[in-house]
Amino acid sequence: MDLVQLLRSQARKYRCVQCGESMAECGINVLAQQGNRALVRVTCRSCNDENLLQIIFQTEAPDAAVTAPSVDEGGERVDAPISGDEILELHEILAGHAGPLTELLARR
């Protein structure tokens, strides 16, 4: 499964923060990829709201769990590679960022 397919399968679990439509049909554009991280632009098909997501791939390595603490809340899935917190965090970073997007990946 390639990255876009993987993201597509995850996107359908999310809704647009602007219009509330399902992101299942959203546009997915991989802007940069470095190591186990990628920067992806997701465009809502309904309202054209664009979001930049930093994707962190989960690996099979045993110590991967250290950077991905799982919180079990009422049986909610906790293994999704994209979290709402990460999206919000990146929003804040991008709000004050004027340079090339690749700088974000290098810095983080």
Among 8, 49, 93, 94, binds Zn ion (CB under 5 A): 49
Among 15, 46, 87, 94, binds Zn ion (CB under 5 A): 46
Among 7, 11, 14, 16, binds Zn ion (CB under 5 A): 16
Show the tokens assigned to 61: 């390595």
Strands 27-34 and 37-43, bridge-based pairing = antiparallel
Hey, which residues between 50 and 79 contact Zn ion (CB under 5 A)? Answer: none
Residues 23/42, Cβ–Cβ less than 8 Å: yes
Nearest 5°: the CA angle 13, 16, 19 is 140
Stretch that binds Zn ion, among 14-22, 29-37, 57-65, 96-104 (CB under 5 A): 14-22
